[in-house]
A and B are shown apart, each in its own frame.
Chain A
Amino acid sequence: MSDERTLQIQQISAHPGTVPGQGAQREVEVAKYIDVTTCIGCKACEVACVEWNDHPFRETTFDNTYQTMPTTEWNYYNLIKFVEHERDGNFMWLMRKDQCMHCADPGCLRACPADGAIVQYENGIVDFQQENCIGCGYCISGCPFDIPKFNPKTKKVFKCTLCSDRVGQGLEPACIKACPTGCLHFGTKSDMVALANTRAKQLREQSGFQNAGVYDPQSIGGTHVIYVLHDATQPELYGGLPSNPQIPPSYTGWKWLAKPAGLVMAALGLLAVFFHRVAVGPKLPQPEEPPPAEAQPDTIEAKRKEKP
């Protein structure tokens, strides 16, 4: 797999110029595979995540569901979303493991104004570097999955790291390791996509889920966390998974085109003002002081003529 490549950086937020060492190695992308149809909602992955990342246990919220809390939190990266669903008159649970999707085109990274606060490794993992984070929170509005969360105390933003620290050492993510049913897998992106397609086909052909399919949204270039869903035509059913996730244009066209254009215009404005001074000159209170007599060329000329 990709252990030694995990720390190979592919993109850096707000970093002018190229990424050091980019493209030096053959690209091997990783992915996390989540089969929603075989998740039993045991929350072993939630616990493993909190443990591995050494977060203290935080308060949970009971709102008449099995869900631990309404959304992921800055110190709770991984949450099983419990959705009560009716299918053909029968009740069923839709239990989706919600965490960062590690988008190929990450809205959080595009939105971030701080040099080096978010990096994307060659293997596809999107990782926040809190020491460079300025706490502006733009990443929150750039993310189509509502993932980055603000810690008001440290004024930094946190989210799932895809266990980049474990993956970098050749280990699988903690949540994968903890899962008792095998609904989670970790491997190269192509392997995981193939596995997901096989499973979806099985669901369609053998379990009567005609709409079963793989969630790997192409509107953001695919993700490095992919789902197998019973009904891939309606991802919204699974606790608000967007069927067509989008990065706001503020962080795409505006940021990469209009913003630099504005700067160039400001620079041109400065030049224009400077050359106005040079070429047109100042507007003096009238009448102007006449230039000192001896400096006038015709006077000098006259004086020279006086000399015999």
Chain B
Amino acid sequence: MSSSVERFDERARREADRVGETVVHRGELLRHPVYTRVLHWLVAISFVLSLLSGFAIYSPYLFRWLTPLFGGGPTTRFLHPWFGLLFDIFFFFQFLNWLVPMLWTKADSRWLRRIKEYTTNEEKLEPEDVGFFNGGQKIYFWAIVVSGLLFLISGIPMWLDHVAPRWLVAASYIVHDIAALIMLAGFIIHIYEGTAAQPGTFRSMTDGTVTKEWAWTHHPAWYEDVTGRNPREDYERAQRRQRERARAIEAWEHEHETRERINEPGTEEFPER
């Protein structure tokens, strides 16, 4: 079973790489292949559409804001289940694709215990045992798996609510809402982490690559896996090199500026000289 999933994923990745392309420049690492990226954005688009059309119906305070996006109330109601179904289908493929790297490990439990240090940026580098995905990313992934199932199970009676039993529809309504609220919370954090909170991350889902600095900062164990080098040592070497370079530039600028000032005729700028 798992091997047939692997074979499927490998073929899908190969086919996607034949159509698309990922250019890895010097100093960069491949993070997400074409297949993963395409899936990710299919999931993201269908999710955002489901989110907006769903929250239009969720609350009277959003109804008038969000239904016009979809051409009014009736079309919103008509489209939402289809968006949701698309989301579930796309995410199912992402689930297969990411199942293995998303499996929970001891390192993730350790990561979770340090969540406070993580959110307050206490340390410049992530702990050495943080692999391809960190504990938080894995929690998000599994939350989507669970929510995706809940959405489906509770969504069907609500979709066909003129035939489903009354109590089932009423109960599904609550389950659907809870799944949506969990997903919304995760979504807010996810976008923030993927963009403003961690510069250099967003390109992993567009270009497919990240810089080596990004890799040893956020996922040291993964860096070690793919480069065979020690992330800590490479970081320290880069740090030394950068310090030296900064010092050299400063020295050069200092010298350059003094010389300019002497040579230039416009020394009237400092008349007393």
Contact = CB atoms under 8 A, between A and B. Distances in A.
B161 interface: yes
B57 interface: yes
Interface string B106-121: 0000000000000111
Contacts of B214: 285
Interface string B182-213: 00110011001000111110000000000101
B199 A284 contact: yes
Given A146-B166, A263-B59, A277-B197, A287 B192 contact: no
29 contacts: A15-B60, A16-B61, A114-B63, A115-B63, A136-B158, A141-B166, A141-B167, A141-B169, A141-B170, A141-B173, A149-B162, A250-B170, A251-B170, A254-B174, A265-B185, A266-B188, A269-B189, A270-B188, A273-B189, A277-B197, A285-B199, A285-B200, A285-B211, A286-B125, A286-B217, A287-B213, A287-B239, A290-B246, A303-B257
B113 to A, nearest CB: 19
Nearest to A290: B246
A262 interface: yes
Contacts of B238: 286-287
A307 B258 CA distance: 10
Nearest to A279: B120
Most chain A CB atoms below 10 A, which of B57, B59, B170, B197:
B170
A219 B214 CA distance: 62
For chain A, the bracket of interface size reads: 35 or more
Most chain A CB atoms below 10 A, which of B174, B196, B198:
B174
A281 interface: yes
Contacts of A249: 170
Main secondary structure of the interface of B (DSSP, over half): helix
Given A140-B166, A282-B199, 12 more contacts: A115-B60, A134-B67, A137-B162, A138-B158, A248-B171, A262-B177, A266-B184, A282-B196, A285-B200, A285-B214, A286-B239, A293-B250
Contacts of A281: 121
B181 interface: yes
Contacts of A308: 270, 272-273
Interface of B: 57-64, 67, 73-74, 76-78, 119-121, 124-125, 158, 161-162, 164, 166-167, 169-171, 173-174, 177, 181, 184-185, 188-189, 192, 196-200, 211, 213-214, 216-218, 235, 238-239, 242-243, 246, 249-250, 253, 257-258, 270, 272-273
Contacts of B189: 269, 273
Contacts of B63: 14, 113-115
A308 B218 CA distance: 48
Contacts, number: 157
Contact of B177 (A16, A146, A254): A254
Given A140-B169, A285-B213, A290-B246, A132 B73 contact: yes
Contacts of A270: 188
Contacts of B166: 140-141, 143, 146, 248
A133 B216 CA distance: 55
B171 A250 contact: yes
Contacts of B273: 308
A258 B59 CA distance: 11
A10 to B, nearest CB: 17
Interface in A230-286: 248-251, 254, 258-260, 262-263, 265-266, 269-270, 273, 276-277, 280-286
A77 interface: no
A280 B121 contact: yes
A120 to B, nearest CB: 15
Interface string A283-308: 11111011001100001000100111
Contacts of B121: 280-281, 283
A109 to B, nearest CB: 12
Given A248-B170, A269-B188, A286-B239, A140 B60 contact: no
- The 6 tightest CB contacts between A and B, nearest first, are A248-B170, A150-B162, A134-B73, A141-B169, A285-B213, A14-B60
